[in-house]
């Protein structure tokens, strides 16, 4: 396994799902991530909050290498994904990702959206993939939409299908990038409900969100980011109610007023 083992596990402590150390990322002159350290434990739900442009999406996207970090380490279950020999496709297939804009495949039915990667990446049989798809559609409460096309679904339904699509790969963890930001207010609840259920089932989740209610109720830990660094982190009752830093307070006030 090599050197990644030693950095991943410490003194027999359980290996965290995600361990990020000294992460830097620039887009040209724009130094977006300036030394990020943090850990998501197995089964933990971590919400990342922070102002627009603070680098939350970039951080999330570095975790499954949709963005290549410039410096630092990202260990997924102890294995360094920045290793040039790492199998990126295998890695990504174990990390579910949910996007702000859903990104369902519009030319495929809901069922095919859920089965295509199972078939092509996991090499599951049609029957098995369909079975898994049905199971996950039921989890998000959309069994009756199995033959629908994405264009015929509401935004909330599309996002739930996107979650079911990610779950159909049996991921070890899920990344959410503002999954409800593109939704009409009345559709936010149904998506958050699905995410709540996932969390209570013990899924490891890293969630970038502006939904403070969700962070308060569901997160084990809240991470506040600003200008490419983690300003502070801790349990939601502390970070959201009695933060140490001014920057955090200001941000929370803006969110509360907005």
Ligand X SMILES: Nc1ncnc2c1ncn2[C@@H]1O[C@H](COP(=O)(O)OP(=O)(O)OP(=O)(O)O)[C@@H](O)[C@H]1O
| Residues in contact with other proteins by the rule CB under 8 A | 64, 66, 89-97, 99, 101, 103-107, 116-117, 120-122, 149, 151, 162, 165-166, 169
Per CB under 6 A, 165 contacts ligand X = no
CB 223 within 8 A of CB 46: yes
Which of 57, 73, 168, 180 binds Mg ion (CB under 5 A)? It is 57
Which of 4, 46, 49, 58 binds ligand X (CB under 6 A)? It is 58
Per CB under 6 A, 55 contacts ligand X = yes
Q: Which is nearer to other proteins, 177 or 226 (CB)?
A: 177
Contacts of residue 188, defined as CB under 8 A and 6 or more positions apart, other chains included, come to 156, 180, 211
Which of 4, 54, 118, 204 binds ligand X (CB under 6 A)? It is 54
Q: Smallest distance, Å, CB 51 to Mg ion?
A: 10
Whose structure tokens read 């290498």? 65
CB 13 within 8 A of CB 24: no
In angstroms, the CA 108 to CA 110 distance is: 7
First to last CA, the chain: 49
Q: Smallest distance, Å, CB 119 to other proteins?
A: 9
Residue 203 gets which letter from DSSP? Answer: -
Q: Is 243 left (phi over 0), alpha (psi -120 to 50) or beta?
A: beta
- Binds 151: which of other proteins, Mg ion, ligand X, none (CB < 5-8 Å by kind): other proteins
Binding stretches for ligand X (CB under 6 A): 27, 30, 32, 50, 52-58
């Amino acid at each position: 396994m090599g050197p990644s083992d030693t950095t991943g596990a410490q003194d027999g402590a359980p290996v965290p799902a995600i361990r990020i150390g000294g992460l830097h990322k620039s887009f040209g002159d724009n130094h977006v991530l300036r030394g990020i350290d943090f850990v998501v434990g197995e089964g933990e739900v971590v919400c990342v909050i922070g102002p627009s442009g603070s680098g939350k999406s970039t951080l999330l996207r570095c975790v499954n290498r949709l963005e290549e970090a410039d410096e630092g380490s990202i260990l997924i279950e102890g294995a360094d994904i920045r290793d040039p020999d790492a199998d990126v496709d295998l890695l990504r297939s174990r990390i579910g990702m949910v996007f702000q804009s859903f990104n369902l495949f519009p030319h495929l039915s809901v069922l095919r959206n859920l089965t295509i990667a199972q078939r092509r990446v996991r090499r599951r049989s049609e029957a098995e993939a369909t079975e898994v798809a049905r199971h996950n559609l039921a989890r998000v409460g959309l069994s009756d939409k199995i033959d629908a096309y994405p264009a015929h679904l509401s935004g909330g339904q599309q996002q739930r299908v996107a979650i079911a699509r990610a779950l159909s790969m049996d991921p070890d963890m899920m990344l959410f990038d503002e999954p409800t930001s593109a939704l009409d207010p009345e559709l936010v609840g149904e998506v958050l409900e699905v995410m709540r259920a996932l969390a209570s089932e013990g899924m490891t989740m890293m969630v970038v969100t502006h939904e403070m209610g969700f962070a308060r109720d569901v997160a084990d830990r809240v991470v506040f980011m600003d200008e490419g660094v983690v300003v502070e982190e801790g349990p939601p009752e502390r970070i959201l109610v009695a933060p140490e830093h001014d920057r955090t307070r200001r941000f929370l006030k803006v969110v509360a007023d907005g």
